[in-house]
Amino acid sequence: MRNFIDELEVNGHLTIIKRYNDGIEEVIFDDHNIIVSGMGVGLTYLFTASGSNSILDYQIDRFQLGVSGGTALEVSTTNELSSGLTYAQYGAGSNLYIEDMNQMVGDYLFASACAIIPPNKITKIGEMSVRYTLVVDEEAANDLVGANAEEVYLSEIGLLMKNPKGNSPPNESILTAYRAFTNIRKTSDFSLIFRWTLNF
């Protein structure tokens, strides 16, 4: 599948901005992302008409955050985050809409949670580029703790295609792009804005 993605020359770029409650913004990350093999899987279903009959199921319209990211996962074969957030960890008071789903991981399905990207946060820029603006507001993913009550840090993010096989409910989503980043201890003092551009 990687050769297929290489032929299409799909690539991307991720900028992470910390926006404080007083409106001050700080860019804390700005680099390329990794397009993973799930992109090729999803597009293969589309181009061979072997998956969903609805074009909406091929949209990249959801994302996951995680707490155990690392450079070892920044390879084309990555098909899941190291430690994605649970439904509860995204935060009950947040503006994020969280959905339980089945995630395609190789030949298996795993129950998972993701945040839906609102349509008004998906913008076409130019002929072949799409920008996703992912806003993790002041109420989301705050003060996370691990199994032993230790502090844990946001350190990875992934974009997912909605439901390329067309099997639902629930949707069977697949990871299409991934990036690990420097640890962020998320608190209610700021929101995080992920500006993620994919070029097709």
The residue count of the chain comes to 200
Does the residue 147 lie in any domain? no
CB 159 within 8 A of CB 103: no
Q: Quote the percentage of the chain above a pLDDT of 70.
A: 96
Does the residue 6 lie in any domain? no
pLDDT at 127: 87
107-143 confidence digits (pLDDT tens): 899 999 999 999 999 999 988 899 999 999 999 999 9
Does the residue 150 lie in any domain? no
Distance CA 16, CA 62 (A): 17
Residue 4: is its pLDDT beyond 70?
A: no
Residue 7: is its pLDDT beyond 80?
A: no
Q: Quote the percentage of the chain above a pLDDT of 90.
A: 86
Does the residue 11 lie in any domain? no
Residue 1: is its pLDDT beyond 50?
A: no
Does the residue 7 lie in any domain? no
pLDDT at 6: 57
Does the residue 144 lie in any domain? no
Q: What is the pTM for the complete model shown?
A: 0.93
Does the residue 10 lie in any domain? no
Q: Provide the number of structural domains found in the chain.
A: 1
26-52 confidence digits (pLDDT tens): 999 999 999 999 999 999 999 999 999
Where does the pLDDT of residue 8 fall: very low under 50, low under 70, confident under 90, or very high at 90 and above? low
Mean pLDDT of the chain: 93
Q: Which helix (H) or strand (E) holds 8?
A: helix 2-8
143-175 confidence digits (pLDDT tens): 999 889 999 999 999 999 999 999 988 899 999
Does the residue 155 lie in any domain? no
Residue 194: is its pLDDT beyond 70?
A: yes
Domain span holding position 129: 16-138+162-199
Beta-carbon contacts of 195 under 8 Å, excluding residues fewer than 6 positions away, are 14, 15, 16, 17, 131, 132, 133, 134
**Cβ neighbours, 10 Å, residue 197:** 18
